Amino acid sequence: MSETQSHFAPLFANAFGFNNFGESSRELNKQLVEDIEKERSESEGRNNTFRKNPCGWQSVTGIESKYESFQKLGEKIVKAFVPIVHSSGIRPEEYKKFKLRHFWANVIFAAGGFSNPHIHGNGITLWTGVYYPKGLEEVDDLDDFDSKKYFQYTVSKTPGSLVLKDPSGTAKRQVKSGLVDQRYYSTNFSVVPRESLLVLFPAYMEHYVTPTIDNSKRYSISFAFQRTPPQITVGY
């Protein structure tokens, strides 16, 4: 009688996608930063995600309607979004109903700047994401991208990192034995900001930014993919 074969399969996986726009985005990134600074000089912005944080500024939503650079970025994001959301298992006829909306810019401009844990979901938002027009350090070749340097299955020690929190993290914290592979037990996933890097994740996923330790500026652009409201016909 032959022995039975063991099988392993991940359950309840959380989706995550990324794209490095590389050298082709360098001029666009420069223009995005210039436009963000222009907006910051002209607008007090809003104070929600960076609430109680005197070292941060956030624009109002809809900034893409004002600047061509954000419109160009939107075209690149949509192109990157399609294969990622398709890989997550959503049928084309469904994800085509989701539209990229509501860009807003974020700037941390002094030591101690951070972002509290929050989500971007509001019931009609499926995916959200962040784009970095400028990283925490200069990169000579934007086409040369090493994911191991910028993605970590823990809370990164690099100040100003984006941290995504596993929704089932409370239960996973009970696993404390030595781990060979942290993908299935880690409760946090960190993204170190890098110029030209786009990250996409479900809108329900809580995330935050770790405090910065110097006065260099940290730029990021957030957005939401929202479901197009169905047409309602009223009959009599």
Q: 110 Cβ partners below 8 Å, 6+ apart?
A: 54, 55, 212, 215
Do the beta carbons of residue 222 and residue 133 sit within 8 Å? no
- CA pair distance 218, 82, nearest whole angstrom: 28
Span of 50-54, 164-168, 231-235 with lowest mean pLDDT: 231-235
Beta-bridged to residue 106, according to DSSP, are 58, 220
pTM of the model: 0.88
- Report which residue type is found at 99: K
- Report which residue type is found at 202: P
Across residues 154-166, what is the average pLDDT? 94
Short-list 199, 179, 205, 150, CA closest to 12: 205
pLDDT reported for residue 95: 77
Across residues 21-50, what is the average pLDDT? 88
Q: What share of the chain is helix, strand, coil (3-state, %, to 5)?
A: 25, 25, 50
Do the beta carbons of residue 66 and residue 190 sit within 8 Å? no
Q: Is 26 exposed, middle or buried (0-12, 13-18, 19+ CB in 10 A)?
A: middle
Kindly indicate the confidence band of residue 97, based on its pLDDT and cuts at 50, 70 and 90: confident
Range of 3-17, 40-54, 135-149, 175-189 with top mean pLDDT: 135-149
User: Domains of the chain (ranges plus CATH)?
Assistant: 17-227 (2.60.120.620)
- CA pair distance 54, 229, nearest whole angstrom: 37
Q: Which residue has the higher pLDDT, 11 or 131?
A: 131
**59 CA to centre of own chain:** 16
pLDDT reported for residue 179: 57
Span of 53-57, 103-107, 110-114, 161-165 with lowest mean pLDDT: 53-57
pLDDT reported for residue 175: 60
Kindly indicate the confidence band of residue 2, based on its pLDDT and cuts at 50, 70 and 90: low
On the question of pLDDT at 183 being above 90, the answer is no
On the question of pLDDT at 171 being above 70, the answer is no
Average pLDDT over the chain reads 87
pLDDT reported for residue 49: 46
Other Cβ atoms within 10 Å of 92 Cβ, number: 10
